[in-house]
Amino acid sequence: MKPTRPPQSGGRRLELHAHTHFSDGALSPEQLVDLAVERGLFALAVTDHDSVEGIEPALAAAGSRLELVPGIEISSTFEGLDLHILGYFLSADSARLRERLARFRDERRQRARAIVGRLAALGAPVSEDEVFASAGPGVVGRPHVAQALVRAGHVMTIELAFQKYLGPRGSAFVPRPAFPSAEAVRVIREAGGAAVLAHPGLVPRRMVETLAEAGLAGLEVWHPQHNPAAQKRWFEVARELRLVPSGDCGVQWFDGWEETHYFLRMRIAQSGLRRPTEAAPAPVEVKLTWSGELKRLSPPPDLDPVAAPVEYATSFISPEKAALTSRYAAGIRCKFMSANAPSTSLNSIAVSSPTAGCATTTSF
């Protein structure tokens, strides 16, 4: 398996970047979950723009049918660039998160009103009430204004609406309310989540480094906007900065879900912002046995490349979640085999935590 892209067969199907009608999606949370189940997805992350209102109905609809990851996609700015920060496994009940999002929604409404005012002055009036109605239960934004421009006959397409009026060079453009990217990372962490930079594209590396210092946990390496060269570049950046490589894999097959799941959750625990239900830190010992020539150990992102056995501390393992040690072992095996097969055979993986009272050994 090449490390720079999800494999096309094997593994489990998932979607880690999905929107509902609470932002710019077309489906309700319940409809989105039903579609995910219909398509055989194993996991689904609801990551609406600047809103967590879709999480509870999505969780209720998912039940035991699939793993529902509570999330968000925060629209932020960094030195004039628009950056989107994904948050995974966060608490939708966080008072700090909800207060900040409420303020941001008010600012977005003020921005929409300012854009409507400029359009009227330019001779392309649209109904303010219609713009807000089209947003429905979600956060109002420029796409809703663009739709109103098309309906009013001022432009033929939404793309033209952005080119002529709403884009950065458009005559009715109003800058987005400031939500600093570092603050978005901090708010997600305070809500018990892991922050991931979405579709970094051409974002300068120095910005990613700054966000990593602020607590960024991962990078969305695999995204439709990223060609193979971009995927390779961002995978290497993630590795060098010890960030978790994640991805909007759609309906592709992706073997690394268990590993991505584990390390994102581990980053939450490492931040010291564990939920009350999380157990106290417990030491974990990982021991590998192999035969044949060892090319590269290729450990998880948080481990230095040293020979086994490896001692490492994490607060992710708890007695209630002992079964997840098998997920950790699956991630280790995936990395080991991709780096060494076929010249090396992995004989066994032992993961244990005496303090947490859990252990698993997998032999091959």
User: 3-state secondary structure string, the chain?
Assistant: CCCCCCCCCCCEEEEEEECCCCCCCCCCHHHHHHHHHHCCCCEEEECCECCCCCHHHHHHHHCCCCEEEEEEEEEEEECCEEEEEEEECCCCCCHHHHHHHHHHHHHHHHHHHHHHHHHHHCCCCCCHHHHHHHCCCCCCCHHHHHHHHHHCCCCCCHHHHHHHHHCCCCCCCCCCCCCEHHHHHHHHHHCCCEEEECCCCCCCHHHHHHHHHHCCCEEEEECCCCCHHHHHHHHHHHHHHCCEEEECCCCCEECCHHHHHHHHHHHHHHCCCCCCCCCCCEEEEEEEEEEECCCCCCCCCCCCCCCCCEEEEECCCCHHHHHHHHHHHHHHHHHHHHHHCCCEEEEEEEEEECCCCEEEEEEC
pLDDT on residue 55? 95
> How far, in Å, CA of 33 to CA of 286, rounded?
36
Tokens 């969780």, residue?
59
Q: Is 270 found in the same domain as 292? A: no
Domain end call among 242, 277, 312: 277
Confidence band, pLDDT 50/70/90 cuts, at residue 224 = confident
**Which amino acid, one-letter code, is at 248?**
D
Q: Is 147 found in the same domain as 221? A: yes
Q: Quick one: average pLDDT of 335-357?
A: 57
272 pLDDT above the threshold of 90:
no
pLDDT on residue 110? 94
133-142, 228-237, 350-359: least confidently modelled range: 350-359
Confidence band, pLDDT 50/70/90 cuts, at residue 320 = very low
CATH of the domain at 8: 3.20.20.140
How does pLDDT run across 115-173, given as a tens digit for each residue? Answer: 999 999 999 999 999 999 988 777 888 989 999 999 999 999 999 999 999 998 999 99
Q: pLDDT above 90 covers what percent of the chain?
A: 34
Q: Which domain holds residue 126?
A: 1-277
Q: Is 303 found in the same domain as 159? A: no
Record the pTM.
0.66
Q: Is 144 found in the same domain as 88? A: yes
- Residue 70 tokens, joined: 């509570």
> How far, in Å, CA of 313 to CA of 284, rounded?
6
Q: Is 138 found in the same domain as 6? A: yes
What phi and psi values does residue 80 have, to the nearest 5 degrees?
A: 85, -10
**Which amino acid, one-letter code, is at 345?**
S
201 touches 230 (CB < 8 A): yes
How does pLDDT run across 32-54, given as a tens digit for each residue? Answer: 999 989 988 878 899 998 899 99
351 pLDDT above the threshold of 70:
no
108 pLDDT above the threshold of 80:
yes
Q: Is 213 found in the same domain as 319? A: no
Confidence band, pLDDT 50/70/90 cuts, at residue 179 = confident
**For the chain, what is the domain count?**
2
How does pLDDT run across 64-81, given as a tens digit for each residue? Answer: 898 898 999 998 999 888
Average pLDDT, the chain: 75
Contacts of 138 (CB under 8 A, 6+ apart): 20, 21, 22, 23, 24, 48, 49, 51, 53
Confidence band, pLDDT 50/70/90 cuts, at residue 317 = very low
More confidently predicted of 321 and 261: 261
Q: Is 350 found in the same domain as 294? A: yes
220 pLDDT above the threshold of 70:
yes
pLDDT on residue 248? 60
Domain end call among 243, 277, 311: 277
Q: Quick one: average pLDDT of 255-277?
A: 46
pLDDT on residue 168? 87
Q: Is 258 found in the same domain as 292? A: no
pLDDT on residue 298? 42
Q: pLDDT above 70 covers what percent of the chain?
A: 64
Q: Is 291 found in the same domain as 165? A: no
Q: Is 198 found in the same domain as 128? A: yes
pLDDT on residue 337? 56
pLDDT on residue 80? 84
251 pLDDT above the threshold of 80:
no
Q: Is 305 found in the same domain as 259? A: no
Q: Is 17 found in the same domain as 127? A: yes
Domain end call among 257, 277, 297: 277
